Amino acid sequence: MDEQLFFKKLNSFCTSKDIFDFLISVEVMSDTMASGALQRISEVEVDDSGLKNPEEVLENDVFRALCFQFEFESSKLSNTGLLNALQALIKLRIDPQSTLISSLLSESEERLGKGQLTVKNLCALGESLLELEGPGCAMLQQIVNHMQERDVEKWSPREMVMVYKMLQVSVREGEHYQDLLNRLNSVTLAIVPQLSPKFTSIILNTLVVLHETQAVPLITALCKHSVKHIPYFTDDELVNVLEAFLYFGRSEQIFTETLETHVPKSIFTMHPQIVCKVMQYCCQKMILSKPIFDAVAEGLISDADRFTTDQIAECIIPFGILNYLPPSASSLFRKLETILYTRLSHFQPHTLLNLLHSCVLMQRYPVNFLPKIFSPYFLQQLQAQPPGLNRIVTSQLTQLFLTITLECPFYEGPKLLPKYRVKTVVTRHGSEDVHLLKRVKTGLLYLLKKRIYFASEVSTPYFYTVDIEIKLDEEGFVLPAAQCEEVHRRIALCVDGQNRFCVNSHNLLGEEAIKQRHLRLLGYEVVQIPFFEVQNLQNSTKMAEYLHKKIFPHTYGLSC
């Protein structure tokens, strides 16, 4: 039978039975046709869980006859027939130690050593070896060494992707192929628009594994190209793409907008791992995407049981960090409370602390679980596991203690022992904007005339540092910052630069929001100076006028 007609008929069959019936009717087959038949069988009979009907395939007389021919006539096979058969049999889960696989591998290795394999052959063999033996296969090194001698510009996209996968393993094994990698990166840049979702994901994943931070043009092109593939990536592929965005510090607005369309449509079928990775992307980039956060909340409410406790925490914590309550907040926190009651022992200590701390950032108070957090045994568990009781962890514990003291006066359980409390709470997000603080101080000096009338970066007895503090007496006169007597009012200026807000938003981050809330409860008059209100003020006079209206709105003139 003509090969073209053979493959056309072969590819029309969807079960191994139909394929075997068809093969019986073919009197003579080339080795290419026979290996193609094995490949088609592997396509229809193998899924993610393995071989669907092992006995029907492996015990079939036609299949056994094909295997016999390949095993005992391997030296007579064409390169294509040999390597396609090897690929198909590995996918069909034939025992790697069997004489059949050993025979095909031995013949492949002999031809590799003699330099008889084309680039296409080398890639097919490399793919089989990765599937069969994984990292550490000596033959892979030989293949990559041969590839170094070939002209990269003549390779197909599939061949280039296969070399990336082999390089990923080879470099991890300690080999160095930077010259080949540089040539590959350069040629790949030109074909990025042609890459499929699968190929885009594989290349990005390889660049992450190989720490290719210098390949900026290629990384940029791949990240932009990945946008159009978002609806078509598998969950694993999308995880790779998101990890690349995180690793290389990329944040494309159109990528986020496309996710905002994709996630709400797919949330109930998305694997929990990809949901977590999307939330990690938003959180790390400080992107408050309400469509994504609302969808994730609905997904957890609907079916939290399919998420592990770590995954539940990874999905909830960004809500606190970015200071956002979804419309379904009441249902979400009822669901979370149920999870905590039924699966509390499943949470790792640091994960549980991060989760409960995130809740108080959103003014949701887990008072029923705080006795556990403040217990000596739990604190010992925190100490024993990385990162231990570092400044961040003790700051979270201190903030939980301060929260129940100020916001939950009805709480009567154990409190955090003084030795675990920090003097000043450290925040992980939203560091001080030095330039903006300097501008505000210059404006205050212009307004108050003397530097003695305000203090900056003031440590309070209440675990927080105030950006700028102004003291007033009973009649409203400004007092010297160093004076401690006759202080009737304390004004805390919170100079909130851009990094204390979500990206492209006026939404204050959770750690800054709780700080300002607590300062008010501690008796301070909190005056927020957000960057977006002062960024266009051109000089000190304008800044002083703004600060006068903001700090002393009812005062015509100032007396110090």
Average pLDDT (2-26) is 92
Roughly how many angstroms between the first and final C-alpha of the chain, as a whole number?
103
> How far from 532 is each of 109, 290, 303, 510, 526, CA to CA, in Å?
66, 21, 40, 18, 18
Which residues pair with residue 465 across a beta bridge? Answer: 459
- Say which residues have a Cβ less than 8 Å from residue 452's Cβ, sequence separation at least 6: 480, 481, 482
Write down the pLDDT at residue 288: 97
Q: How far apart are CA 328 and CA 301, in angstroms?
A: 9
Task: Please state which of the ranges 144-148, 167-171, 395-399, 542-546 shows the lowest mean pLDDT.
Answer: 167-171
**Angle at the Cα of 375 from the Cα atoms of 369 and 380, rounded to 5 degrees:** 120
Cβ distance 73 to 65 under 8 Å?
no
Average pLDDT (189-213) is 95
244 token code pair: 């690349």
Q: Which overall architecture, per CATH, does domain 431-552 show?
A: 3-Layer(aba) Sandwich (3.40)
Write down the pLDDT at residue 172: 63
Confidence of residue 177 (pLDDT cuts 50, 70, 90): confident
Q: Which among 357, 374, 273 has a CA at the least distance from the CA of 315?
A: 273
What's the predicted TM-score (pTM) here?
Answer: 0.86
Reduced to 3 states (helix: H, G, I; strand: E, B; else coil), residue 174 is coil
Write down the pLDDT at residue 229: 96
Q: How far apart are CA 92 and CA 443, in angstroms?
A: 75
Confidence of residue 493 (pLDDT cuts 50, 70, 90): very high
Write down the pLDDT at residue 175: 62
Q: How far apart are CA 361 and CA 510, in angstroms?
A: 5
Beta strands 489-496 and 525-530, pairing class? parallel
Q: How far apart are CA 200 and CA 284, in angstroms?
A: 23
Q: Is the pLDDT of residue 174 over 60?
A: no
Handedness of CA 22, 24, 25, 31 (dihedral sign): positive
Write down the pLDDT at residue 221: 96
Cβ distance 258 to 297 under 8 Å?
no
User: Tokens 């010992």 label which residue?
Assistant: 380
Give tens-digit pLDDT for 388-405.
Answer: 999 999 999 999 999 999
Write down the pLDDT at residue 553: 85
Write down the pLDDT at residue 135: 60
Give tens-digit pLDDT for 430-484.
Answer: 778 899 999 999 999 999 999 999 999 999 888 999 999 999 999 989 999 999 9
Q: What is the CA radius of gyration of the chain?
A: 32
Q: State the angle between helix axes of 99-113 and 61-72 in degrees (0 to 180), rounded to the nearest 10.
A: 40
Which sequence spans correspond to the domains of the chain?
Answer: 1-116, 133-243, 431-552
Write down the pLDDT at residue 560: 45
Give tens-digit pLDDT for 30-49.
Answer: 999 999 999 999 999 988 78
Which residues pair with residue 469 across a beta bridge? Answer: 455, 492
User: Tokens 């299949």 label which residue?
Assistant: 63
- Say which residues have a Cβ less than 8 Å from residue 304's Cβ, sequence separation at least 6: 312, 335, 339
